[in-house]
Each structure stands twice: as structure tokens, then as C-alpha cells.
Structure 1
């Protein structure tokens, strides 16, 4: 079986697996059974004559051959989809850019950038979606997003070890803060002493690579009272007095009543970076315009670098 015999369905499935990181997640996204996904991957590997995925306990990782295939698969699938739209008489997506962003970037940075781009370049269409930083990195590799706004914490390592390395631009640097109920004793001052965070209850959010929402410098096992993925849910729990959570200052415009954001002193400063990432090839003009708008918005909403 030659690779030229690989089906379009198998390429779509493979791209989804590469982006989602697990067969289970890809199956759920596509509405397939996991066994159906496995069969499509197996057929593609037979056509390629080599393994395309490395199966691991925490999901899958692309082999060198898999990285080649996923780049080509993204191009093939996009071209077929564009042809189908043209035959159906739908508008051509020339001028479209696909953006991924991590959750808190949607509070101010992304909406401001999109509003600016709509004023300056109204012909450009942006399709955006939220995701965790690891998921967005996989989406870049799979070719399903063109640009990604990522979060980075010390020691600020590259977001993955794949080749070629992603092109990264630091949009902002910012300090991590803590959200507290306005009626909490810690809300009385202009900052929180790090030692006063001991013994507090926390509202955490699970990420793919770490627990979010708990002060990183805490010198005790945290008391996690609630876990929520959604920022609004976490902040509403804070407002109701059920605990504290860490937040970036960029969330200030989205604070519900009853919540105060305060810096922490008395320990190492917890810096965070917001990165703009893309693959090494030259960006399209719409992508470059969106990148400019994101850099301008970052200047207004954070500490530009």
C-alpha cells in the first residue's frame, strides 16, 4: 500500500490526534469510537510504512515521520476544504487567520486586538478558540491554528521540544496576583504578605501540566476547597467567600463584584509571560496583521517587552 492511497478521512483523524494528544480526546472531538480512530491511524501507518505515533502512558507523541505527515496533512485537508467551499459557492477564506489563546487572554488582550483589527483591516476574518497552552502548541504543530497566545512560567522553557522550534515573541510580562473576597481580612490592605497565605483555602483550576490557582510559593500543602476550569466560576466562588485564587492582573476588567486583586510581597516575585507563537515559515499577511494588533493590545493591557 503506497502512501498516495491514504484516505482523506485518515488524514483528518491523524491531524485531530496530533492536536488533541490522545486517541480518546480525538475520538470525542470527531464523534468516533476510539477503535475507529485506532483503525484510521493504523491504516495511515501501513501506508507510510513506518510508525507515526509513539504511544505513551500520558497519550501519544509524533515520531519524526509523524511530524512530516501532520504538516502535509494540514495542507491537504485545508486545500480540500477550500475546494469544497468554492464548489458550494461559499466565500473564499482568503484573508482568514486562525488564532488560539489561553483562558485569561480572553478577558482583555484578545478582544482588544480583534476590535483593533476590525477597525484597521475589516476584510480580515479571525476564527479564534480557547485552549490550554499544551493543547495550543499541539494545534500549531497540527496546522489547525496559525497563531497562538501562550502562557509561560519560570524558568520560561520552550513550550515543546519538537523541531523545528516555534517562533516565540514575548507580548507581556506580568506579576501573578491573588484574588480575595472584598470582605476577607486580607482585602484590607494594598498588598498581601506571602506568609499570610498559609492556612487559606484555595480555588484551583486543573491544567494539563500543573495545578493552577494556588500561590506557587506556598510553603505548605494547599487546602483546595473547590476546583473549577472556568475563570468566571472561580471568581464567583471567590466573591462568595469560598476561598482565594491566583489571577493575572489582565483579568481586572472582568472581575465580578465582591472580588479584589492584590499583589503579593514577602517572597520571590512570581512573573508570568504571555507569548505569541507560530511555526517558522513566514506568516501570511492576515496573520502578520493580527500579530501586530496583539502586540499593540499587549502594550495597553500589560507590561510590554
Structure 2
């Protein structure tokens, strides 16, 4: 089997991105170049590696097998390059992914704790939705992921073997509103009062749901603004331009002019914060970062 390192990198990026188009954008290639690499990989492997679907691309069992070996080979190539250039790592690096609201609360406390307990470990971070981070874990682009899960807390993906997962904390959702205005001075709001509210929501899809509108809200919500960035959403809330749903753990970092209210008349909405990694034995550095995260929350 004759497979180039470029082909292995393309395989890994397709697995992480979930589509040829997104992989091409991340790698700086054209989509046709990525498609040609994918076909070349399949010819060399003598097997179908990619399940091409209307909603994207998933790796077949054969593709997942090759990906597992690709991670090892690409790590070995990186180590060989470091040896040849004489680069001596001064620390151990852990690549950490976090879901979009976790960085503001989880990350600073965890890094502060880690600096005190394991200063030889360097953490690099990236943000993404939980499904995207699961793909990055499987692809070997990150070593550890802080993810969000909603009841009934099914497995993070359908691939085997399952990821190793630890529960860090459970948190309730709350409603972020302007401190002055319709809900001023209140600590709670009934869900029926939110039917006609103007919502500030993030774009979402079936595979990658994002926070915004209160789950199970009766009727069709009125979306006034769409934004992924939490700072944008919360400052729109502070300005009185709408309301949005946030994890209650964001309370310490809310900007001035934003209050959190309980939503009554509906079941509590719980979200679980998880720390996930690939199955198998964990490295000491990954274990230390996991411990810093779970301890800080």
C-alpha cells in the first residue's frame, strides 16, 4: 500500500471536518484536489474509505482503521522532523478542544491550576461545537475535549470503540435578559411569557445544535438576531435587543447590564459538561489536564 503523508493528512482532515469542502478550506487546497486525494487513498487501500452522504462525509470502518494508523504515522513523522532539526521540546503539549461557552469559565481556572501543579505542561486550545470536537478527537487533531451533553446523554458518536468520557459537572440553563426593561428586578419568568420574545440565537443544524431559544418553547420562536459569538449575544441582550439561553455557570463572567432568570412552568433544562479523550491508556500530561479541568469546575 503506497500512501503519502499528504494523503494521510487529507484523511485526517476529512474525518475532522466532515466534508470534502470543509477539509479543503482548512488545508488550503481546492475541493477537487481533496477529492482526488480521497480517490487515490481508496485505490491504494483497495477499499471504500469514505461514506459520501447528502449531509457530509463519514469514514467507513475501513477508513476508521486507516485513520487509527494514520494518527500514529503522522505523529512519528512529526517526531522525526523534530529530531532532524534538533528541536528539543521544553514542555509536553496537550491540544485541548472546548465547546463554545466553556472557554470563559472552565479554561482560565483550569490553566491557573495546571500552572501551579504541572508547569511543564503546555496547553493549546481550539473552540468548536461538541460534534465537531468529537470528530477532531477521532481524527487525532486534539488530545482532549470539553464537551456539552443534554439528556438522555447518549454516546457521543456511533463509532467504536467508544470514547473515554468523564463527567465534570451538571449545570442548568437560564435565561439571559437585560437588567433594565421588561424583566427588571425579577429572578424568574414563566415559559408562557417567552412565546412572543425576541430571541438572540446561534445558527444551528440537526447535527450541531447550539444554544439560543429556550428548548421546547411552544410555538415558532421569533429570532431577532443570529450570532455564534457569546460576547456579541450577551451585549445584544444588555442593550435590550432580545433574550437568549445560557448555561448558569456563565453568571460570573456576564457583562454589565445582563441578568439571569430561572424559567418556570417547564422542566429544568440540564446540560452536562464532559471531558473526553480517545479510548486506551491516557498519557500523564492528558491525565494532568483532565484533573485540572474537573477540579476547577
The TM-score range, normalised by the shorter chain, is over 0.9
SS of the residue corresponding to residue 286 of structure 2 reads: helix
CA contact (8 A) 2:198 2:243 kept: yes
The size of the alignment, in residue pairs, is 295
Residue 302 of structure 1 corresponds to none
SS of the residue corresponding to residue 98 of structure 1 reads: strand
> Which consecutive residues of structure 1, in runs of 5 or more, have no partner in the other structure?
299-305
Distance in 1 (CA, whole Å) between partners of 2:34 and 2:215 is: 38
Distance in 2 (CA, whole Å) between partners of 1:278 and 1:218 is: 34
Question: Does residue 173 of structure 2 align to residue 176 of structure 1?
Answer: yes
CA contact (8 A) 2:106 2:296 kept: yes
Distance in 2 (CA, whole Å) between partners of 1:262 and 1:31 is: 44
Shift of the alpha carbon at 1:76?
A: 0.9
Distance in 1 (CA, whole Å) between partners of 2:103 and 2:122 is: 17
CA contact (8 A) 2:91 2:120 kept: no
SS of the residue corresponding to residue 158 of structure 2 reads: coil
Residue 274 of structure 2 corresponds to 275
CA contact (8 A) 1:147 1:276 kept: yes
Question: Does residue 42 of structure 2 align to residue 81 of structure 1?
Answer: no
Closer, same or farther: CA 86–184 of 1 in aligned 2, 3 Å: farther
Residue 258 of structure 2 corresponds to 259
Distance in 1 (CA, whole Å) between partners of 2:187 and 2:35 is: 55
SS of the residue corresponding to residue 91 of structure 1 reads: coil
Residue 184 of structure 2 corresponds to 187
Q: Deviations over 1:77-102 (max 9, x none)?
A: 12111221232232337622111110
Q: Deviations over 1:16-72 (max 9, x none)?
A: 010010100000001000000011111111110001010000101110001111111
Please give the residue correspondences for 1:210-229 in structure 2 after superposition, counting only pairs within 5 Å: 210-229=209-228
> Which consecutive residues of structure 2, in runs of 5 or more, have no partner in the other structure?
none
SS of the residue corresponding to residue 103 of structure 1 reads: coil
CA contact (8 A) 2:211 2:246 kept: no
Distance in 1 (CA, whole Å) between partners of 2:12 and 2:172 is: 36
Residue 37 of structure 2 corresponds to 40
Moved more, 199-208 or 229-238: 199-208
Residue 93 of structure 2 corresponds to 96
Question: Does residue 231 of structure 2 align to residue 232 of structure 1?
Answer: yes
Please give the residue correspondences for 1:93-242 in structure 2 after superposition, counting only pairs within 5 Å: 95-208=92-205, 209-242=208-241
Moved more, 122-131 or 94-103: 94-103
SS of the residue corresponding to residue 26 of structure 1 reads: helix
TM-score (norm 1): 0.94
Residue 243 of structure 1 corresponds to 242
Q: 1:58 aligns with which of 47, 55, 69?
A: 55
Shift of the alpha carbon at 1:211?
A: 4.9
